[in-house]
Amino acid sequence: MPFLFWNRHRSRIFLCQLAKIQVMKITGIALAFLIAITISCKKDGIDKTEQGQEKKPRIVKLYNDLSKFEINYGYDDQARVNFYSYQSPPQAAVNSNIGYSNNYAALSAIHTAGNYVYSTNTTYIFDVENKLAKFIRYESVRQVPITNFSYQILTYDSAVYSYNTSGVVRTVRIYGRDTIFQNGTKTVRLDTLTTQNTIVGGNITSTNDFVNSTLTDIYSNGSTNSWRETIERNTAYSYVKNYKNQTDFSNAWVFNVVRPINNIQFNAQLANLPDRITGTSVTKDQNGTVTASSNSDMTFEYTYNTIGNLSEIVCTSDPYSSFKVVYEEK
């Protein structure tokens, strides 16, 4: 489910297919679709219930010793995340700001990677129970002008969420449009992405992600070329070891949409953390022919601190996908 196979699912596909640039290199994170984020009721939305109360342990940092990847979170005086900075060496740190007003939050970020400038502006809208209801995102990637080459991506996304009675995301639908300008050719990609979660016994047991895409090349002479493709990913979660789901959920929506971790969701309504996540992904062209496929199998262990909060996510199948969690009183 997961930021950079969301952030961005489509932009990453473009960057990989065109093999031109590497906007952000996130080492040691197995990222799939952001869309399977599971924001739970109240405590996982904009937390208005704890304003003015005593300080509590808040997540301030996630990091991996091997990859040197880390993400740091800053807080406002109401214990809401209003700033984050992540870095995956040798790339420079990326800084983002989050502002709040009534039932929405606005995220903005801009950074430079090599010869490219990346910027994003996203508005997250919450319902009356403070669950994430929708978001609208504008992004751009543009090349700093160099000789004989030009490249730019403009992106628009919108998403709508639906929940079960416990406040766990059941379905997410994302609609997106990417426009790529490259050496006189404009490529327009229209995507519809649907995620459906199966929830049993208080846990997500499986997720189906389906992307339907139409791509059109528009050449400088006015001619066009269009084609379609689909991507389907199925993910299964196992909870044999019954690892408890306990951490700081007060800003869970941020931890999910900004930087999901290996398909593991911050959600106070879920009973356990998965000890194994398996997945398959199949890409087909407009004729139904398989053009790409992959499988994944990840196993996890967890450790907890003295007050019972999650302190480390250990990916036993890939140490670069492990994370330590740091808390401070906020």
Q: What span, in angstroms and rounded, lies between the C-alpha atoms of 38 and 1?
A: 10
Query: Quick check: 39 and 267 in contact, CB under 8 A?
Result: yes
Query: Quick check: 245 and 239 in contact, CB under 8 A?
Result: no
The enclosing H or E element of 139 equals strand 132-143
**CB-based burial of residue 278 (10 Å sphere; 0-12 exposed, 13-18 middle, 19+ buried)?**
middle
| pLDDT band at 151; cut points 50, 70, 90 | confident
The separation between the first and the last C-alpha atoms of the chain, rounded to the nearest angstrom, is 29
Radius of gyration from C-alpha coordinates of the chain: 20
The residue among 54 and 19 whose pLDDT is bigger is 54
Annotated domain spans of the chain = 9-329
Query: Model-level pTM greater than 0.75?
Result: yes
Q: What span, in angstroms and rounded, lies between the C-alpha atoms of 248 and 268?
A: 9
One-letter identity of residue 31: L
Q: How far from 260 is each of 52, 113, 134, 159, CA to CA, in Å? A: 28, 21, 17, 17
Q: Each residue of 209-230: pLDDT tens digit? A: 999 999 999 998 899 999 999 9
Torsion of CA 256, 108, 19, 219, to 10 degrees: 120
Provide the sign of the torsion angle of the four alpha carbons 27, 29, 31, 35, taken in this order. Answer: negative
Is the CATH code 2.40.160 the one for domain 9-329? yes
One-letter identity of residue 259: R
90 C-beta neighbours (distance < 10 Å), count = 8
Q: Each residue of 62-112: pLDDT tens digit? A: 999 999 999 999 999 999 999 999 888 877 788 999 999 999 999 999 888
Q: How far from 199 is each of 165, 193, 217, CA to CA, in Å? A: 11, 20, 40
